[in-house]
Amino acid sequence: MEIPYAVKPRPDTGLYNAKLGIWLFLASEVMLFGGLFSSYILLRVGADLWPHGMVSIPVGTFNTFVLIASSVTVVMSWASLKLGRLGDFKKYMALTIACALGFLGVKSFEYHAKFTHYDVWFKDAATAEKYFKAAYGEEKGVEAARKLFVERFHLHNTKAVYEANQVQLPGHLEGNPLFATHRSLASAKKETFQFTPDAPFGTHDHPKPIEVKLSDVERLSAYVPKHSTYFAIYFTITALHGLHVLGGAIVLAYFLFTANTWWKKNPEQLANRVEVGGLFWHFVDLVWIFLFPIIYLL
Amino acid sequence: MSLKAFHILFITASVLLSFWFGWFELSTYSDSKAAMNLWLGIGSCVAGVALVAYGIYFLKKLKNISYL
């Protein structure tokens, strides 16, 4: 038995089955991402301190234009099918998948950079001051600590004030390990560790590595979800978005690799399938158009 | 809504983001004087103009396809 309206639109709705289905699905996706965006806003306005400049704007910009380009190529692949050009469809769809893989590749480098970047919180303000002086110099150490804190949390735009007890020293552990913690270093019977602090704010000159006593450290965390509320919501939303990109790329790749069979069997149905895949792809890209400014810029 | 209509919506959002991001980076450049902000600002505004031109081309190319 043939399923009705799989290719031709229903006269009452004007839509074929798959298009109605994808819009119902996208409505549920709007609620999913809408809930996460709302959570982001509530967490942010409720926080005393919210960090800025934790992600690379040029990298995010590059990925944004990669996704915009992929939307252009996916719609061109659909238009090629409408015009009866299977060869052009394959070319544009391959470009779309390449863009998706490029986006995910860049995102994975971004994630890796976060997983090997650390913040160290010290037991008290006096201990923190000692290490900031060791890192940035006897005279400039305290000012460097204050400047890093003020600029990270944009204190010039908030009611919060600088507190030496809250200050953290950002940098890299020797050997760039992933996900190290105070507990994991203690379990490895380490009493000290080598730490290369980040460059002072506004410069690119990394100080020399310093030796840090584990007993002076209150907390050590890579830039992972449990680091802070900021990274928790950052990883939740961007990882969910990344999974959507991966899922979309798999579906579009399936259309590409089975195109010859569908083209012989029913070219109109292939065009409809690609349209539905393209609608999902556009939704995923539109989510990023909102994500980019709130995560990277504001 | 067809892919054509959704694509027009998406390109409109992308154009708005490009010009807003261009303005954001250029106003950051006026404070920081960092070359990166200047190039990102100019590049984003150029991308915005290119997207407007593409949008017009797209509308002409697919004028016979329904918005539904």
Residue A227 confidence (pLDDT) above 80 = yes
Residue A115 confidence class, pLDDT cut points 50, 70, 90: very high
Give A71's contacts in chain B (Cβ within 8 Å): 7, 10-11, 14
Q: What percent of chain B has pLDDT over 90?
A: 74
Do B10 and A278 make contact, defined as CB atoms within 8 angstroms?
A: no
**How many angstroms separate the CA atoms of A68 and A282, rounded?**
9
**How many angstroms separate the CA atoms of A23 and A93, rounded?**
22
Residue B1 confidence (pLDDT) above 90 = no
Residue A201 confidence class, pLDDT cut points 50, 70, 90: confident
Q: Tokens 């001051």 sit at which residue? A: A129
- pLDDT value for A145: 82
Residue A103 confidence (pLDDT) above 70 = yes
Residue A160 confidence class, pLDDT cut points 50, 70, 90: low
Do B2 and A297 make contact, defined as CB atoms within 8 angstroms?
A: no
- pLDDT value for A4: 87
Q: What percent of chain A has pLDDT over 70?
A: 97
Give the range with max mean pLDDT: A2-6, A41-45, A140-144.
Answer: A41-45
Does A294 lie at the interface with B, CB-CB under 8 angstroms? no
Does B32 map to a domain? yes
Residue A3 confidence class, pLDDT cut points 50, 70, 90: confident
- pLDDT value for A164: 66
The residues, any chain, with a CB within 8 Å of residue A248's CB and separated by 6 or more, are A100, A277, A280, A281, A284
Give the range with max mean pLDDT: A141-155, A197-211, B3-17.
Answer: B3-17
Kindly state the average pLDDT of the residues A256-263.
94
**How many angstroms separate the CA atoms of A268 and A8, rounded?**
9
A123 touches A271 (CB < 8 A): no
pLDDT tens digits for A24-53? 999 999 999 999 999 999 999 998 888 888
Residue among A251, A237, A288, A247 at smallest CA distance from A37:
A237
What is the DSSP annotation of A151-203?
A: HHTTGGGSS----GGG-EEEEEETT--SS--HHHHHHTT-SEEEEEEPPPTT-
Angle between helices A141-152 and A125-136 (to 10 degrees): 110
- Search chain B and give the residue with CA nearest A276: B3
Angle at A93 (CA atoms; ends A88, A95), nearest 5 degrees: 100
Residue A158 confidence class, pLDDT cut points 50, 70, 90: low
Does B66 map to a domain? no
In the predicted model, what is the mean pLDDT of chain B? 92
**How many angstroms separate the CA atoms of A63 and A40, rounded?**
21
What is the DSSP annotation of A216-280?
A: GEEEEEESSGGG-HHHHHHHHHHHHHHHHHHHHHHHHHHHHHTHHHHHHH-HHHHHHHHHHHHHH
- Search chain A and give the residue with CA nearest B39: A58
Which burial class, exposed, middle or buried, applies to A150 when counting CB atoms under 10 A from its CB (0-12, 13-18, 19+)?
middle
Does A23 lie at the interface with B, CB-CB under 8 angstroms? yes
Facing residue for A58 by CB, picked from B11, B13, B40: B40
DSSP category for residue A215: G
Out of 3.30.465.10, 3.30.390.50, 1.20.120.80, 1.10.274.10, the CATH code matching A29-44+55-114+229-297 is 1.20.120.80
A295 touches A55 (CB < 8 A): yes
Do A75 and B58 make contact, defined as CB atoms within 8 angstroms?
A: yes
DSSP category for residue A295: I
- pLDDT value for A202: 76
Does B67 map to a domain? no
Q: Which of A16, A59, A75, A283 to mutate to test the interface with B (most CBs of B within 10 A)?
A: A75
**How many angstroms separate the CA atoms of A243 and A249, rounded?**
10
Residue A159 confidence class, pLDDT cut points 50, 70, 90: low
Residue B68 confidence (pLDDT) above 80 = no
Give A66's contacts in chain B (Cβ within 8 Å): none
- pLDDT value for A132: 86
Does B28 map to a domain? yes
Residue ranges, comma separated, of all CATH 1.20.120.80 domains in chain A are 29-44+55-114+229-297
The residues, any chain, with a CB within 8 Å of residue A42's CB and separated by 6 or more, are none
| Least reliable range by pLDDT among A49-63, A89-103, A193-207, B15-29 | A193-207
Backbone angles phi, psi at A66, to 5 degrees: -65, -45
Angle at A250 (CA atoms; ends A292, A239), nearest 5 degrees: 35
Residue A232 confidence (pLDDT) above 90 = yes
Residue A1 confidence (pLDDT) above 80 = no
A271 touches A278 (CB < 8 A): no
Does A272 lie at the interface with B, CB-CB under 8 angstroms? no
Residue A90 confidence class, pLDDT cut points 50, 70, 90: very high
Do B6 and A82 make contact, defined as CB atoms within 8 angstroms?
A: no
Give the range of the structural domain holding residue B24, as residue numbers without chain letter. 3-61
- pLDDT value for B62: 82
DSSP category for residue A56: -
**How many angstroms separate the CA atoms of A28 and A133, rounded?**
53
pLDDT tens digits for A65-85? 999 999 999 999 999 999 999
Give B14's contacts in chain A (Cβ within 8 Å): 68, 71, 289
Do B17 and A279 make contact, defined as CB atoms within 8 angstroms?
A: no
Residue among A244, A230, A290, A238 at smallest CA distance from A28:
A244
Does B68 map to a domain? no
Angle between helices A86-115 and A57-82 (to 10 degrees): 160
Facing residue for B3 by CB, picked from A78, A289, A293: A78
Q: How far is CA B65 from CA A88, A196, A243, B2, B4, in A?
A: 18, 59, 31, 9, 8
In the predicted model, what is the mean pLDDT of chain A? 91
Please give the tally of structural domains in chain B: 1
Residue A22 confidence class, pLDDT cut points 50, 70, 90: very high
Q: What percent of chain A has pLDDT over 90?
A: 64
